[in-house]
Amino acid sequence: MYCSSLLKHRKCMNMSLLRYFMSSRPVVSEVLTAYLKQCNEPPWTSYFVKYKSVCNDQFGMSNFNWKVGSSNYQILRTGCFPYIKYHCSKKEEEDLSSSDRFMRFIKVANLGKLSAYHVYFMV
């Protein structure tokens, strides 16, 4: 009895993962790269993308470096439901780990001011 329910659970999990990875939606990192290339690697830009339109493979990332062609961009990324907002600045690569942790701390500290609905979609 226990084995059969465990096997059913594993099969459901495998199907869920397969559905996630075989989704027709692009991953948000590919959208970021394509957008910067399409704009001919500008010195600065910003844009929004809908949560529903992409698979969020950058979950939890707030401030990070992103290579596109021969350029490096410092990305500031935040959730602005129903969108993910990106600010992209062409700069030399730096260690942004402390800045990323600080931004994550601010997001967690602000959880008390958000509804449960917004918390679910927080980046």
Q: Is the pLDDT of residue 11 over 50?
A: no
Q: Which amino acid is at 116?
A: A
How far, in Å, CA of 78 to CA of 13, rounded? 29
Domain count, the chain: 1
Does the residue 86 lie in any domain? yes
Length of the chain counted residue by residue? 123
Token pair for 11: 């099969």
Does the residue 8 lie in any domain? no
Does the residue 115 lie in any domain? yes
pTM: 0.70
Whole-number mean pLDDT of the chain? 80
Does the residue 18 lie in any domain? no
Q: Is the pLDDT of residue 10 over 50?
A: no
Q: What is the tens place of the pLDDT at every residue in 54-111?
A: 999 998 899 999 999 999 999 999 988 899 999 999 999 999 999 999 988 888 887 7
Does the residue 2 lie in any domain? no
Residue 22 banded pLDDT, cuts 50, 70, 90: low
Does the residue 42 lie in any domain? yes
Find the range with the poorest average confidence among 1-5, 24-28, 93-97, 101-105.
1-5
| Residue 44: domain span | 25-120
Find the range with the poorest average confidence among 2-6, 20-24, 101-105.
2-6
